[in-house]
Structure 1
């Protein structure tokens, strides 16, 4: 008799009942002299004792600035030590840290500031072509809750820290003593079919345990040094990376503010990193560097690859040439903190490239008929659902949207089509929704479409993902022009998007059409657009 597509990740290690602050305290007490954080670009370093003190200073400064338990504190910055300090300081005082993608432009920033009700924003000064101060100034008048902005590396950051002395350590301890591990502590925005991002709201319990168990499955100890080129604004960086490290007394290594292949390899060599994270495109870029063979990567033993499937040949090279014999594949989504399935240290190449692993400890997964919700037999494709400690509290102030994805049994419906094999390993075979995954970044067509409708030369638009060798998928905009005699060019579309949309959401391909292919019920056949108009 065929087994049902249901699996419960078992394990002998219990869930953590700590808040993030209490868990950090344990690491500080156990490993005070071991390095906790290294920023390679600036050369700054913190032992666990120094890191704990810096977190406490910022926590007291935030309290002195009027940040109360439950207040939303935004962080809009590239990877830097201050990002990590904000993460742990907000957790210490029970504030809700709101991650803002550094690539966001004005209208995206304004939406998040308003929807989350952010009262204090910590921000970088610049990132690539973005002048953060100018962007904030441009939207601040429309965000009544925003009362303070502090720029990292600017005098305003020093002014924030200067007020820390007005709050005593005893007052900080009193605040922290009143916190629960089930309190909301983090909001991460993930786009949806409504066209605007939804704020996945996560607790201490959600993200601390997920980071901890990801680390457990790659056998982290205080001896490990984890190179993190993945962005902190995403769960990959701040949960699987930062919390995975501090919950084991390991060291966080920041190679650069944003991904640079050469900087990553140099950091691994210089800091003798034992673990390296990335999406497949990052590993491909590193392996293809002309100078790749000149770097000493012999200290590596493991790492995490996630975001999209890893080609077999790439995995072979990662294992053989980067010494990452124990590299692990993870699958998840922001709404599940993020990881639900993970390969194990002793899994063979086929499992690492053909599946996304099996259920993590304390996590349930099942594959159901999308129409009926009935659990299917193993080997049959259906919607992957996840249940357990990792499922988000809900979308911030959007109960209706929450009810669309979390059912009465607390199962999170991922929207991904999956097959559970007889051995319990899961294969992702497609997506129910039309999410485009470009280089590890989720792009939601409806959001891009809603924006392009504003273009004066566009009467109608459909956005789809088409296969791309470098990024996995690339963005194609299929457009019906307002005036067929004067259609927009690809350059017009790119320029229109450049100042308002994150770079990874900007269409790279354009097709001008007279009409879209339609179903008999009047819906656009996006599958036909992908098949007929992709490269």
Structure 2
């Protein structure tokens, strides 16, 4: 008997939401107006769904008062805060495209996304962890005359915009009535294999339905309270967190602006959270925090672990010590809004640590031979592909790159190697491309290499991932120096990158060589470099 093909379709019992994000929020407000919508632990601020709606409407009117309208792009460059969420829903109600900017970005990367997206306005915090966002914005503005408005949270520019919104009588509902669920609403930049990041463009339909589906599989109701320490600038925070919550009338709990294990535990305990999110490194940090035993986590029922593979011991501790017996594993990518597969709350621990679950409702996944594109039999490794409502509209203004990722039959090719078992559970076994995943952040070596090539002493550079106990992987740069230059220290590389490259992309190790290992056809042998790197570092 021949093995079944590695192709499976999710259930269609629950129909897709054919509505916009704002209309979905309005329905929730009508259902649970006095339910708690948002809690910001750092400031103690709280919103009911009715209050959230009023503030979202004020921000929408304020943004409209600046002349922003459907299709315009507005950036948000901030850590997790209530204003991030207000801007997320306000832009959605106007049909304005929200451009997520990673708070780790520096001027070099900021300038690129401002230009590539054609950003009209940006909402930002004035500074974060000693880095002046205000200064970096001013640094890039002269090159981008289309960036007309800068709104700094907590300053007069933000207050003036929200005051204008409160004074305005713009009928936001009427604007919203002109929108379509298929309209673009969000651009998220994912590091590109050819240097600069690509802007995955997502619609109301993409992210609203994905957030809703995640919440359905976790059995969310208006009684759930979700601790969201993962960043809003990723789909993990703004879709699996915020949209899963608001589509079910649940509460979004923001423990801190940036991940802090003690603050997250405190928030989960004090706010009686029923669900907790994180990448495995976050759960490891919380479980090993000295204050762990001081916190009553008895309300925890579920949660999500995603971003990188979950170690068995960590999953067991999350279930036993945290009490999150229904914790779920999700797999996906920004380009698929993000989740394609998810474990179910009643799956065994073994399933939850050895697989990334089964296909989501209303989606299809298949595993294909990377060379021929043919579907492989179950139990055989190949490239994982996803098709359905969650696949992005495309990379912003990059049709050629979109065509490389999404084939003529609308399948998104993930670049991940996977195996599907007889029950439809998927195990991700590796990556076809050289992407390095450090603490849940995808890093494409090519982007780091192109940046390091701007160093005056560097002739050539190759970046590979090496194993790391804390982050899963770290970067190691193999460097060839120009004639007469003998050494390049890690410190020198860090100094060169400081303020210009996101911290997680800065190589932890530097190895100076005269030549790279090459194939007979003159291609660099990264596989060999990775093996040798392990030996050199004693890993």
**TM-score, normalised relative to structure 1:** 0.99
Where 2:87 maps in the other structure, the secondary structure is: helix
- The within-5 A match list for 1:280-291 is 280-291=280-291
1:134-173 residue pairs with structure 2 within 5 A? 134-165=135-166, 167-169=168-170, 171-173=171-173
Q: For residues 20-419 of structure 1, what are the structure 2 equivalents within 5 Å?
A: 20-165=21-166, 167-169=168-170, 171-419=171-419
Q: CA deviation at 1:483?
A: 3.3
Matched residues in 2 for 1:531 and 1:80: separation? Answer: 42
* Whole-angstrom distance in 2 between the partners of 1:165 and 1:406: 43
Q: Deviations over 1:376-414 (max 9, x none)?
A: 000111100000000000000000000000000000000
Could you say which residue in structure 1 is the equivalent of 2:512? 512
Distance across 2 between alignment mates of 1:278 and 1:129? 25
- Measured against aligned partners, the alpha-carbon deviations of 1:186-215 in whole angstroms (never above 9, x if no partner) come to 000001111001000000000000000000
Does the alignment pair 1:454 with 2:450? no
1:129 Cα deviation after fit: 2.4
Contact 2:378/2:422, CA 8 A, preserved across alignment: yes
Q: 1:65·1:163 contact (CA, 8 Å) conserved in 2?
A: no
Q: Cα deviations across residues 476-499 of structure 1 (Å, max 9, x unaligned)?
A: 001111135422111000110111
For residue 317 of structure 1, give the secondary structure of its aligned residue in structure 2.
helix
CA contact (8 A) 1:120 1:147 kept: yes
- The answer for the alignment partner of 1:14 in structure 2 is 15
Q: Distance in 2 between matches of 1:451 and 1:26?
A: 47
Aligned residues: 534
Q: Is the CA contact 1:63–1:167 (under 8 Å) kept in the aligned structure 2?
A: no
Query: How far 1:166 sits from its partner (Å)?
Result: 5.3
Taking the aligned partners of 2:267 and 2:114, their CA distance within structure 1 comes to 34
* Native 8 Å contact 1:192 1:198 kept in 2: yes
- The 5-angstrom pairing of residues 431-450 of structure 1 reads 431-450=431-450
Which piece of structure 1 moves more, 474-483 or 315-324?
474-483
1:315-353 CA-partner distances (Å, limit 9, x unpaired): 000000001000000000000000000000000011100
Aligned-partner SS, 2:341: strand
Rounded Cα–Cα distance in structure 1 between residues aligned with 2:408 and 2:130: 45
Please report the RMSD computed on the Cα atoms of aligned residues, expressed in angstroms. Answer: 0.8
Gaps of 5+ in 1: none
> Any idea what the Cα deviations from partners look like across 1:217-273, whole Å, max 9, x if unmatched?
000000000000000000000000000000000000000000000000000111000
Mapped to 2, the partners of 1:201 and 1:148 lie a distance apart of 22
TM-score by length of 2: 0.98
Q: Secondary structure at the match of 1:181?
A: coil
